[in-house]
Chains A and B, each alone.
Chain A
Amino acid sequence: MTNHWIDLKNSDCILIMGSNAAENHPISFKYVTQAMQNGAKLISVDPRFTRTSARADFYTALRSGTDIAFLGGMINYILKNNLYNKEYTAAYTNAPFIVGKSYGFKDGLFSGYTKGKPEAGPSLGGYDKSQWAFEMDENKVPMMDRSLENERCVFQLLKKHYSRYTPDMVSKITGTSEADLINVYKTFAETGAKGKAGTIMYAMGWTQHTVGTQIIRTMAIVQLLLGNMGIAGGGVNALRGESNVQGSTDHCLLWHIWPGYLKTPSASKDSLSVYNASATPKSYDSLSANWWQNYPKYSVSLLKSFFGEQATQANDFGYNWLPKVDDGKAYSWFDLFDKMFDEKIKGFFAWGQNPACSGSNAGKIRKALEKLEWMVNVNLFDNETGSFWQGPGVDPTKVKTEVFMLPASVSVEKEGSITNSGRWMQWRYQGPKPMGDSRPDGDIILELGHKIKELYHKDGVLAEPILNLKWDYDTNGAYDPHKVAKEINGYFLKDITIKDKLYKKGTLVPSFAFLQADGSTSSGNWLYCNSYTEKGNMSARRSDKDAVNNIGLYPEFAWCWPVNRRIIYNRASVDPKGQPWDKDQWVIKFEGEQKDGKWVSNKWTGDVPDGGWYPLENPDGSKREDSKYPFIMRKHGHGQIFGPGRADGPFPEHYEPLECPVEKNFLNPQRVNPTAVVYSSSEDSHATCDPRFPFVGTTYRVSEHWQTGLMTRPQPWLMELQPQMFVEMSEELAKLKGIKNGERVKVTSARASVECTAVVTKRFKPFNIGGNLVHQVGVPWHFGWRWPSTGAEESANLLTPPAGDPNTRIPETKAFMVNVIKL
């Protein structure tokens, strides 16, 4: 989330689309409700009428997988009716940037396309993104036209691109009526007025598509046009699903990034200096903060946390001890299980995760587990992954895989921090001791590390990284979360004087502005530098005193990254003179002194400003040269309406899901995303416009279960509330198939079939898609054969397809094709 949960109350219009907050993030509704009591409008857009819809001022449905068409229509509506915030768009976004002449869009393809399988992995094709570059002036600064009139400027190209997204066209694709579309567009676009705030609450309903990243980009464009980024009650807010999925992402348990969103080095970066140079963007615009110019400080400090004193200038701080990926190749979830299925992976850790139920096309994952030599499964409960060898249809006597299953402790039995969706790091304490012989994950990891180190003390291939890994995180023989939390924050490793102040060796670094690239500081994650300082553990704070602006920031309750800034990009919440667009619910405000129409002292108040530079303009309107543009993480300092870094195009374009109910895309000749990731092993089948699978299928969650259900299915209360796998369908479809409410049916896809109880409901209605009647059904993905013990409830992910987004490689589990058959 760019904002945070409590901040939802400051909104004037909340769009909930791609999530079902009332059921899946129930407590968020405390603040949605508060906003509504203050006059905010709530809009719910979902293929199914949910409990969120039941609370909304306005609900409408769309067919799964057509969100870009829906939102592209909103961009068109905003531009056609001049409802965008002109001052904000011209000053803070890249709308004025001039795009180079090699950029083009024709027949559903952007310039630079090559069909086929790029080296990265199975994909339908790829782009040469250099063709989408901006025009630069002689000083290598992007050329701009702040009047937004130049025909090659982003704004004009945007207008042209989305002029095709007429209500008539959008309605044909989404199945939403034109009147409903206009109603949503009009209501949300009203937040383009200064002092008004609109927000979006989305979740996996947007990410799990072959166009997932671009759906979110479409909304980000809407938010930039309306001036909704950086303000209270605005932003782009992903409702993350696991208690610490934000933290585990920040610390980068992901193949492509190192802690703090640093890049995993590839083979061609054969030294630290080459790596740093390639990862550090260069801006020649003195008004661009280009924050990532600090990259080497963060990467070197990270290496110092990895290897401690063993990391020296002479050995490149241990850079080459760490693994490199091949350039341009992907090692994502899909690729991992593809390689495992191909018997290339021999050992496997499933640590606090249940891929046998959570991965798309889970049948392939289950088969892949049989090909392993060994597996370690760490969890609270036995699960479908750990016990795959005795799962449905598996003969244990034919499965060679050796399995170690280790009992982990529940969160209340240990101490440490987690980070919520609003980036708040919060400390938890130990209540009871671990049950039985279970152990906190931290103790298991630490002990395993000690045991591996012992073996490498004797001998081993390239033992240096293992032996040199700093691993002193015990206190009295047990894992000590405080020691790790301090390492993540970082230390001064020698006495350093910064701005006339001496910082002693061995003390904690106050914030990432103090980190150094010469090895004199450590920090396990620069984003968390400031979380555990000489003032103490910031994440354990509990003050309910609000900040001076009284908008629910609670700056001394827990801690939030970066540097306790509660709303990021908040310098876009003020005008170029530093004064808030919204005088009532302001985030920050410039209160420096002025003399003769010029600012003469620097003072911000409110939230921690996104960089404390002077405002862009003086009170008399003259420009300042010591200021910076507000979008400091972007190389050029501007919010990206044109996104030339994306794999599938600088502007979002509607493409159908890999499996869809229409023969052609009504908007362009490309039916599916021409860069979609599609796998094709013997276990990876898909079928589109296939009469065997005539209905659109989607997956979702219920309040009473969580993810694959592993932490809820073994519980009697929750199982009583939601005991069975079910499929929701419209009354019309039930009639067509002769299915009655409560009957057991079979849902089939090109991959598998799963038994479900039919829930016949008014919550689904058939769609009119270009004149054809299209039915949609939905299944929850919380079940699996291990719990309940009947073994009759199975995972919806046996049905879901082997395809994903080209930017993130997140699977397309929200739109696929199925059939429903009466048993």
Chain B
Amino acid sequence: MNLNRREFIQVSGATAAGLAVSTLGFDLKPVKSHAQMLKTKYAKETTTICCYCAVGCGAIVHTSKRGDGRVINIEGDPDHVINRGALCSKGASIKQLTENENRLTRPMYRAPYSTKWEEVSWDWALEKIAERVKKTRDDGFEKTNSKGQVVNRTTSIASVGSAAMDNEECWIYQALLRSLGLVYIEHQARI
């Protein structure tokens, strides 16, 4: 019998309900199969790729369908052809990365010469950033270089990052930066 993981769980779930023990050809420990059923019954299952190194291991994320809607568990994906369910110590801790009380959850602002962070709204933060970008860019915009060649750039703003972003995010980020005229664009690949 050739079952992938999800089909296996469906069948083993049925086993727990008292059906078709012979489908699998062996009997499962009732407790184990019940636990598996709990995870799938009350949770949304999504696949992901590990956010640490570049091996690209697959993982399965179980998110609660009830209550806070947060992650219940993240484990290696047995159907992923690279890692076949295995994860290293970092990959195995993605749940703790996600459900982590040290995470930033509000935009913060530190004024010049201030000694503290202040919570601010997204709208306020992004409006201020847009204003700063515009002023710095327009004040120092170079239409030509010292040789008189057209360069249409700003060297007053720089950006670093990020290999931690998705492909699509990287693409729109570089498009935005280049449309603004930035040339100091770098990220992890350089170092």
Contacts and interface: CB of A to CB of B under 8 A. Distances in A.
B55 A5 contact: yes
Contacts of B106: 407, 436-437
Given A432-B98, A469-B175, A718-B89, A243 B49 contact: yes
B133 interface: yes
Given A26-B88, A544-B79, A717-B96, A254 B164 contact: no
Interface string B39-63: 0000010111111111111100111
A344 B150 contact: no
Contact of B93 (A250, A411, A718): A718
Interface in A415-472: 416-422, 424-426, 428-433, 435-442, 444-449, 451-452, 454-456, 460-462, 465-466, 468-470
A87 B102 CA distance: 60
A207 to B, nearest CB: 9
Given A400-B113, A544-B79, 14 more contacts: A5-B55, A244-B165, A247-B166, A248-B188, A248-B189, A350-B161, A396-B113, A396-B115, A407-B105, A418-B56, A448-B130, A703-B90, A714-B103, A811-B191
Given A435-B98, A452-B180, A332 B161 contact: no
Contact of A437 (B49, B107, B133, B168): B107
Contacts of B172: 442, 445-446, 449, 473, 484
Contact of A441 (B143, B159, B165): B165
Most-contacted residue by chain B among A382, A430, A442 (CB, 10 A): A442
A376 B129 contact: yes
A715 interface: yes
A381 B104 contact: yes
Interface string B82-102: 111011111101101111101
Rank and list the top 8 A-B pairs by shortest CB-CB distance, nearest first: A436-B105, A352-B162, A420-B56, A416-B166, A323-B153, A351-B161, A407-B104, A484-B168
B143 A462 contact: yes
Contact of B107 (A404, A435, A442, A811): A404
B33 interface: no
Contacts of A284: none
A244 B163 contact: yes
B122 A439 contact: yes
A460 B138 contact: yes
5 contacts: A324-B145, A353-B163, A404-B109, A465-B178, A704-B90
B10 interface: no
B152 A333 contact: no
A140 B163 CA distance: 42
Contacts of A460: 134, 138
B86 A412 contact: no
Q: Which of B171, B174, B182 has the most CB of A within 10 A?
A: B171
Contacts of A416: 166-169
A346 B107 contact: no
B166 A414 contact: yes
A487 B46 CA distance: 25
A442 B174 CA distance: 12
Contacts of A6: 81-82
Nearest to A442: B169
Interface stretch (B15-23, B24-32, B68-76): B68-76
Interface string A610-625: 0000000000000000
A752 interface: no
Given A436-B105, A438-B104, A402 B96 contact: no
Contacts of B127: 451
A374 interface: yes
Nearest to B69: A432
A773 to B, nearest CB: 32
A351 B162 contact: yes
A496 interface: no
B126 interface: yes
A755 B68 CA distance: 42
Contacts of B164: 242-244, 352-353, 411, 711
A787 B102 CA distance: 10
A414 to B, nearest CB: 7
A557 B80 CA distance: 9
